[in-house]
A and B are shown apart, each in its own frame.
Chain A
Amino acid sequence: MPLDKELLAPRRSIRIKYWRQVFDGNENILAFKGYENTAISVSQRDNDYIVRSWESHSGFMLWENRIKNVGLYKNSNPIIENDAPKVEVIFATNNPDVLILLEGITVINLNVIDGKQIWRSDLADSSTILYKLVEFNGKVYGVGLKKSFSSYTIEVVTYDISSGILKTQLLNSKVGNIKDMTVLGGGTQDGFIIWSEGGFIRVNRLGTTFSEQTSLEELYENVIPSFGDANGNLELLDLNIGSRTEFLVQVPTKKGNTAAAFKVDHVSGRLVALYDFEERSENSIYSATFDKNERIIISRSRVVAENVSEVEIIAPSTGTILGNYKIPYSLNSYGNLVKSVLDVDSKAMGYRMLVISADGSMHFWKDHDVVWKSEESLAHTIEAEFLDLPERKLWTQESDELAEQPEETETISPLIRYLRRVKTHIEQLKDFPAYLTAYIQRLITGDYEAEFKSTNKSKVSLHRDTFGFRKLLIFVTRTKLVALDTINKGQIIWSRFFGNDVSEFSNIFIGKSVTRLFRLNGLTGENFIPAENENSFPPELSIPITTKHDIGEKSLKGCKVVKNNVQPFDIIEIWTLNFPEGESIAAIAHRPPIEKIASLGRVLGDRSVLYKYLNPHLVAIATLSTSTSTDLNIYLVDVVKGSILHHAIHENVGSSHPVRIAQIENSVVYHFWSENNNEKGYVIVVYELYESENKDQRFESSVFSSFAHDRPYVSAQAYMFPYGVNAIGVTTTKHGIATREFLFALDTDQVFGVSKRFLDPRRPQHVLTNEDKEEMLIPYDPAIPDNKKWVLSYHLSVAGIRHIITSPALLESTSLVLAYGLDLWFTREAPSKTFDVLSEDFSKGTLLATILGLILSILITKPMVRRKKLNARWY
């Protein structure tokens, strides 16, 4: 069961998602554990912990319990650094109770059936932090570390399962680090604490004060020979196999690392060595399970070469190697292995394993094969871009002919050239049957993408389709680049893991704080090798750019990139725009860098024109001020000189819902939650910027310059919007002729498209005049209709969308739309309907039937007419 930050989804080995619950962005899942036919999740929101129970087959919530004031008595300076488990969830063996450890000090006992609290206990002593809970024989043991002078002492807190705290007890111990300690057992058997101290491994049976100890030297010499080369500290690995008491000890050696399996004997409480895994040069990950004979099975997996990983399946109790499997695995794409979960087939020999890689991808292995893999890192996409594909190359012989040089032509006689052409055509003839079948198939099904949907995944040729619907989608995740095909349901073309070189990507093309620049071939993902005489970057840049425009900033800075003698480039700050006290940036919208505008003006009903204000350096900024009431300020800024061209204020704007803003052509659209007395709800505002308020009037200068003192005329209109919005996108088409459609990622995890005609500040608030009708305006209505037919993603759930990007196809009517965030969703949208292709609704059957009907009627009437004509001659 995978566990993402905000996501809860059970998954079985077959690739079907049963249900999913996506938590709010400000709520983090801390623990998740199954219990009979329910699952318990613990999440944190602000300062409260929320425990929920879910029905595992349907995904319905059964109960919810909010736990408040956790960690109130906690010491402010954390006593133990690194990755201590924050939350621990265990289920009692004999009672229907769930015990939850929060923040290392609070233990809560809830009834699993209805979520009612049975007892709660907060540790008063702030110098102890609990790490583990173990339950057996009606008692709950919390094992933690207590700070003493130079190291930590193990402290055990005992609780009665039905009433709460009993006693605390310190063990005579010295532990340097949490990794030196592990807790095993519990449930149906006794629990044990194992820790390494000095040259010994010590074992304590929970509930007693006595501890057994084993000397490491003795272990190294006699029992585990591979530990002889140890070159570092022991690390105790918990195998997470319920109440079993087997565990692993891993040790780095000079050439790599080694590990051994141990077991705590239930009766004597002593350490028993089970198996020596021997030294390996690569890092290994381990996972364990037990087979139907209750025998423990451990897997050791590691990447042995660039393209191969190896899995060893071992039964330590008998010391036999059950299997050794080589599995194809690309280190370059996924990085190292991080975690694995093993399951042994009931039929003894086989195994199944779920592996998680450094990039976050999941792989499901069965014996020698990869059953499926899933690119989970795409959920953390930072940025995405469309990449156009090249056209399919002309048939080579034909292109040879076309590329023939004039000198060459002179040397060949016309006859030979004619024969060569005939030969080419004859050779092309052999492709004719395939072409014909493809043509007929296409005619019948209307599917132009069939040729790309090849079943043979290994050999996909990358070229553009007839309508330009096929593109590559390049995703930049935190440590990885992934390229997907828009056809074939987003098949992965290539992926490349950068985790070893790059700590985090911040941007694809414009580097904000990138220390290294990568240049890759977009089609293959390999490093791009520029041609000899090509300059990788233009020698001089002096375009103004804005930096530090991150959300939450209190000012906007304009910078300029100039060529410098020392470094290749230097950034010089040219202006700073400080917002008034208390205001910080909530959202920013730029105009898209590539934008096709069909018309410079808007033609009105009386054939006069309003000229659009098209400033490429216009940036729309929304700021929120929190001085008295929350105000939303909208600034339109020219980033060349940092001047404010327009400013608007909305009072009483709720901060509970984020503000979103978008810009295209001469329009700006923004969405927010309004708390006004007049209008409580989501509000959407649209601006249209014109050069003048008057018709047929333009700026005096024929050249547009940011340094001219021309300000746009802003025409605006506001509407109530039926939904909360998380991202705004706009359709883009090849020539920009088709009516634009604004795309909204809704709170309900859907994508909603509203035509520009509805978001138009010229919508008249009076009865339509003839001129308005000529302009095809829609009368103003305070609410944007909640038309479910406008939902592009219909009932599908596209969770957590953060961005919507679009790209034109070769057809003017169609725009390619990608929404990404937690989920990825790609579609084609025709905002003005598909006017340049036959619609899918077009019934070829009707057409054929009509033609047949006409032929039939001609056949019937022809002899009748002939007879009549003949008769007419006679009489």
Chain B
Amino acid sequence: MHSFIRSSFSCLVLILLSLFAIPSFCVETYKIEGKLVPSSTLKDLSQLEPTTKIILDGGKYSALIRKNGKFVIDDVPQGSYLLEISSKKFIYPKIRVDVDSEGVKPFVTIIGSEWSNTGPSLQYPLELSARSTSEYFMVRDGFSIASLFANPYIIMMGFSVLLLFIMPKMMANMDPDALRELQENQTQNPLAEMPDLSSTIANFMSGGNNNNANAERRRN
């Protein structure tokens, strides 16, 4: 900052000394121009806030956008800059702008990547379109019968209730032989051989044998 002031001060002295010299002679500055253009997210430029600002290097240079979306940043010396569009409603990509004696060269940049890696270059004057709108709010899920029935627990419950009604009817309509077969199968079901958790714990506590317990249970 100090060196900047000093240089502008020396500029001033130079101007005073050589009143007839061209003022732009001491520091060569450039103009960064561009335009915000409508896109699918921003259909009409009047949706933009009037406070939308173009910021260079964290506020070293800045400009407001005009009504037609155009912006001009004056008096930018040579260097490499980060250009941001400060808007509350829309998200814009961040742009790296290199200013040298050949002119202004913009590139795409990603925050967190190394500055020495330039991204793909962009056309100049800049034409920027909004990437997306800013979503500040989470959608609150309200109460609806449909969402209630979409709940897996409710579906499970409903299904079991349904079975409660249908099963006896199915059993009643079954062939008596088939029914007997089914019952026999059920007794041989390997699941029945599985140790029961509660009795296991009970046995463990009392120091009993769980085979015995199972055998007793089967006897019952």
Interface residues of A (CB under 8 A from B): 19-22, 24, 46-47, 52, 55, 58-64, 66, 68-69, 72, 626, 630, 654-657, 673, 675-682, 720, 722, 724, 747-750, 781-783, 786, 788-789, 791, 794-795, 797, 840-841, 843, 845-846, 849
Of residues 94 through 146 on chain B, the ones whose CB sits less than 8 Å from some CB of chain A are 96, 111-112, 114-116, 134-138, 140-143
Assess whether B50 is in contact with A679, with CB atoms less than 8 Å apart. no
Looking at chain A's contact residues, the main secondary structure is loop
Assess whether A673 is in contact with B67, with CB atoms less than 8 Å apart. no
Q: How many A-B residue pairs have CB under 8 A?
A: 127
Say which residue of A678, A791, A841, A846 sits within 8 Å of B116 (CB atoms).
A678
Assess whether A791 is in contact with B141, with CB atoms less than 8 Å apart. no
Say which residue of B57, B91, B111, B136 sits within 8 Å of A795 (CB atoms).
B136
Top 8 nearest A-B pairs by Cβ distance? A656-B60, A794-B136, A657-B58, A59-B50, A783-B112, A60-B67, A673-B58, A845-B143
Chain A residues within an 8 Å CB radius of B134: 788, 795
Check if B35 is an interface residue, CB within 8 A of chain A.
no
Instruction: Say whether, besides A655-B1, A789-B138, A843-B143, A681 and B111 are in contact (CB < 8 Å).
Output: yes
Say which residue of A20, A68, A722 sits within 8 Å of B111 (CB atoms).
A722
- Bound state CA distance, A32 and B96, in angstroms? 35
Looking at B15, B59, B89, B135, the one whose CB has the most chain A CB atoms below 10 A away is B59
Assess whether A788 is in contact with B114, with CB atoms less than 8 Å apart. no
- Bound state CA distance, A750 and B136, in angstroms? 11
Closest Cβ neighbor of A795 among chain B residues? B88
Of residues 27 through 46 on chain B, the ones whose CB sits less than 8 Å from some CB of chain A are 46
Check if B86 is an interface residue, CB within 8 A of chain A.
yes
Check if B51 is an interface residue, CB within 8 A of chain A.
yes
Assess whether A22 is in contact with B66, with CB atoms less than 8 Å apart. no
Looking at B50, B80, B87, the one whose CB has the most chain A CB atoms below 10 A away is B50
- Bound state CA distance, A841 and B141, in angstroms? 8
- Bound state CA distance, A126 and B20, in angstroms? 19
Assess whether B115 is in contact with A66, with CB atoms less than 8 Å apart. no
Give 24 CB contacts A-B under 8 Å.
A19-B50, A24-B59, A52-B64, A61-B50, A61-B66, A64-B63, A64-B66, A66-B75, A68-B23, A72-B12, A626-B2, A654-B60, A657-B59, A675-B57, A677-B115, A678-B115, A681-B58, A724-B55, A724-B58, A795-B89, A797-B88, A840-B140, A845-B143, A846-B143
Say which residue of B59, B64, B65, B116 sits within 8 Å of A747 (CB atoms).
B59
Check if B16 is an interface residue, CB within 8 A of chain A.
yes
Assess whether A748 is in contact with B86, with CB atoms less than 8 Å apart. yes
Closest Cβ neighbor of B45 among chain A residues? A60
- Bound state CA distance, A63 and B87, in angstroms? 20
Q: How far is the CB of A290 from chain B (nearest CB, A)?
A: 33
Chain B residues within an 8 Å CB radius of A673: 57-58
Say which residue of A21, A55, A69, A678 sits within 8 Å of B15 (CB atoms).
A69
Assess whether A64 is in contact with B64, with CB atoms less than 8 Å apart. yes
Assess whether A797 is in contact with B51, with CB atoms less than 8 Å apart. yes
Looking at A46, A656, A682, the one whose CB has the most chain B CB atoms below 10 A away is A656
Interface size class of B (residues with CB under 8 A): 35 or more
- Bound state CA distance, A841 and B60, in angstroms? 43
Chain A residues within an 8 Å CB radius of B63: 64
Q: How far is the CB of B133 from chain A (nearest CB, A)?
A: 9
Chain B residues within an 8 Å CB radius of A797: 51, 88
Chain A residues within an 8 Å CB radius of B76: none
Assess whether B58 is in contact with A69, with CB atoms less than 8 Å apart. no
Assess whether A783 is in contact with B111, with CB atoms less than 8 Å apart. yes
Check if B193 is an interface residue, CB within 8 A of chain A.
no
Of residues 132 through 184 on chain B, the ones whose CB sits less than 8 Å from some CB of chain A are 134-138, 140-143, 148
Chain A residues within an 8 Å CB radius of B138: 789
Chain A residues within an 8 Å CB radius of B59: 24, 656-657, 724, 747
Assess whether B51 is in contact with A21, with CB atoms less than 8 Å apart. yes
Instruction: Say whether, besides A679-B114, A788-B136, A846-B143, A61 and B57 are in contact (CB < 8 Å).
Output: no
- Bound state CA distance, A749 and B51, in angstroms? 10
- Bound state CA distance, A64 and B68, in angstroms? 13
Instruction: Say whether, besides A626-B2, A673-B57, A849-B148, A789 and B135 are in contact (CB < 8 Å).
Output: yes
Assess whether A66 is in contact with B74, with CB atoms less than 8 Å apart. yes
Instruction: Say whether, besides A681-B82, A797-B51, A656 and B57 are in contact (CB < 8 Å).
Output: yes
Say which residue of B1, B58, B65, B114 sits within 8 Å of A682 (CB atoms).
B58
Assess whether B3 is in contact with A626, with CB atoms less than 8 Å apart. yes
Assess whether A58 is in contact with B88, with CB atoms less than 8 Å apart. no
- Bound state CA distance, A654 and B1, in angstroms? 9
Check if B62 is an interface residue, CB within 8 A of chain A.
yes
Closest Cβ neighbor of B113 among chain A residues? A782
Chain B residues within an 8 Å CB radius of A676: 115
Say which residue of B2, B3, B12, B66 sits within 8 Å of A62 (CB atoms).
B66
- Bound state CA distance, A724 and B84, in angstroms? 11
Closest Cβ neighbor of A68 among chain B residues? B23
Q: How far is the CB of B96 from chain A (nearest CB, A)?
A: 8
Chain B residues within an 8 Å CB radius of A786: 91, 111
Instruction: Say whether, besides A64-B64, A69-B23, A789-B135, A58 and B148 are in contact (CB < 8 Å).
Output: no
Q: How far is the CB of B79 from chain A (nearest CB, A)?
A: 9
Q: How far is the CB of A696 from chain B (nearest CB, A)?
A: 35
Assess whether B135 is in contact with A788, with CB atoms less than 8 Å apart. yes
Assess whether B86 is in contact with A60, with CB atoms less than 8 Å apart. no
Closest Cβ neighbor of A788 among chain B residues? B134
- Bound state CA distance, A630 and B4, in angstroms? 12
Assess whether B136 is in contact with A654, with CB atoms less than 8 Å apart. no
Chain B residues within an 8 Å CB radius of A63: 66
Chain B residues within an 8 Å CB radius of A789: 135-138
Assess whether B64 is in contact with A21, with CB atoms less than 8 Å apart. yes
Assess whether B67 is in contact with A62, with CB atoms less than 8 Å apart. yes
